[in-house]
Amino acid sequence: MEKMHIKMTVNGKNVDLLTEPRTLLIHALREELGITGPHVGCSSSHCGACTIDMNGMSVKSCSVFAAQADGAEITTIEGLGTPDALHVLQEMFKEHHGLQCGYCTPGMITRAYRLLQENPTPTEEEVRFGIAGNLCRCTGYQNIVKAILEAATKMNEMKESA
């Protein structure tokens, strides 16, 4: 199959990818660009393990062709924080034990990031509704919700003191 050029910005870097039109975005990210934070869970847009941020929206990258991301601005968990400088959401997930196996975590945190961009002061119910497309098999969600609410408070305090 003839390959096509796709240009996108991934975690602040310009990327020029030569791939087949049938390549799914999750596979382009993981296998062609080595960005392995987003995971493959269900491959059918149910679990949210593959969630990325694309053009300011949470997107399940198993349900999008890489070709559809041509010209897009993409952020994955790798673009939110680093091991030495965790994002507040990552810190709060760590502090409140919002993860166990961690398989859902990159997608969950990337989704929570967009949720807090859209609604910086969510209620518990809004957080639960906001992450409804991201499944976690381990935690029972309680600590995830706690971590996101605490991250919201901390992010708002940081904004006020800036």
Q: Which residues bind ligand FES (CB under 6 A)?
A: 40-43, 45-50, 60, 62, 99-105, 136-139
Give the three-state DSSP class for 83.
coil
Compute the distance between CA of residue 113 and CA of residue 161 in angstroms, rounded to an integer.
20
- Nearest Cα residue to 78 out of 97, 105, 118: 105
Give the Cα separation of 60 and 137 in Å (integer).
Answer: 18
Q: What tokens were used for 28?
A: 């382009």
Minimal distance, residue 160 CB to ligand FES, in Å: 32
Please identify, using beta-carbon distances, which residue of 40 and 86 lies nearer to ligand FES: 40
Q: Which is nearer to ligand FES, 71 or 102 (CB)?
A: 102
Task: State the nearest-atom distance from the C-beta of 69 to ligand FES, in Å.
Answer: 14
Residue number with CB closer to ligand FES (5 or 113) = 113
Q: Which tokens go with 112?
A: 């929570």
Is 60 or 96 the residue whose CB approaches ligand FES more closely?
Answer: 60
Distance of alpha carbon 136 from alpha carbon 143, whole angstroms = 11
Nearer to ligand FES, 132 or 158 (CB): 132
CA dist 29 and 61 (Å) reads: 9
Q: Could you give the CA distance from residue 93 to residue 19 in angstroms, rounded to a whole number?
A: 35
Tokens of 61: 């990258």
- Least distance in Å: CB of 49 to ligand FES? 5
